[in-house]
Amino acid sequence: MTGHRKPAVCVLGTGLIGGSVLRAAFDAGYETWGFNRSEAGAKAARSDGFDVRSDVEAVLGRAADSDALIVIGVPMPALDAVLSDIRTFAPNCALTDVVSVKGPVAKTVHRHDLGAKYVGGHPMAGTSESGWAASTPTLFKGAAWAVSVDPGVHAEPWTQVARLALDCGAVVVPVLAAEHDRAVARISHLPHILAEALAIAGAGGGPLALGLAAGSFRDGTRVAATAPELVRAICEPNAEALLEVLDDSLRVLTAARDSLRDTDSIAQLAAAGHDGRNDYDTFQRWAITGITPGDHDWLAKLADAGRRGGVLENLD
């Protein structure tokens, strides 16, 4: 996108997602810099030509002086410490995040009295790899980027966050935090749990099973290659929604087991699963138009549109 004023962007945490935001924003013409708690990680980014430091006071002082948009790219366990630093050194900056759960993040942000300019965000993109070396400016191309439209969100910071997502190559899905968390429990967090279970089952078959394993096992366990501490940081903060969908899945698996035991058939599971995958393959996003941030009832209108599969492809 062109033609709009780009705020400076300060990214806190330059791993896979935060680092990719930094790279993509830089490529889109934003003034960018960042913070990484590990000096080794900061040095790796600097060696690639990016201004990333391990001195949080200096990084956030620059953000305050520049009225930057701060992007929190740390996992949930590190959020309190980062928000405490923001409260101390840059409390008046617009603020967003790329954490995979939204309700707990918003609650923590407000506990630190930083809610006035906060807009939750979550780009639906990633790999099983982590760290600066895994980051890429093209990670978000064509991806959905959830942007919060909860009551109390203000139009100016919301527009900055949405434009950043669009400039990084994504489409914007406006969403309420609670609805986001229930949705990602099904399509992001549950797959981690199932992949771990499948990897355990495969390894339990010993060398023969692993020697015979091919595409279905490889694809089904891809995200099990993610570092265990990152899987925990992704899934555990969304425990309530994840428990609900785990219960649903256990009922499905139990019914399939009982059917296989009693009738030698998994016909119902196979048919329903095929239909579910077909729903995904044939799903069509549609472009939201005619809703301007700041207009009457704009948050509720965007939430309804996002709920029905709408995305923002531009704000012009």
Tally of residues, the chain:
316
pLDDT tens readout for residues 6-49: 999 999 999 999 999 999 999 999 999 999 998 999 999 999 99
pLDDT given at position 2: 47
Half-sphere exposure of 196 (CA within 13 A, CB side): 11
pLDDT tens readout for residues 111-152: 999 999 999 999 999 776 778 999 999 999 999 999 999 999
Q: Do the beta carbons of residue 5 and residue 69 sit within 8 Å?
A: no
> Residue 1 — pLDDT band, cuts 50, 70, 90?
very low
- Mean pLDDT (whole number) for 208-225: 96
pLDDT tens readout for residues 279-309: 999 999 999 999 999 999 999 999 999 999 9
> Is 3 a residue whose pLDDT tops 90?
no
Q: How far is the C-alpha of 270 from the C-alpha of 279, rounded, in Å?
A: 14
- Mean pLDDT (whole number) for 55-74: 97
Q: Which residues pair with 121 in a beta bridge?
A: 147
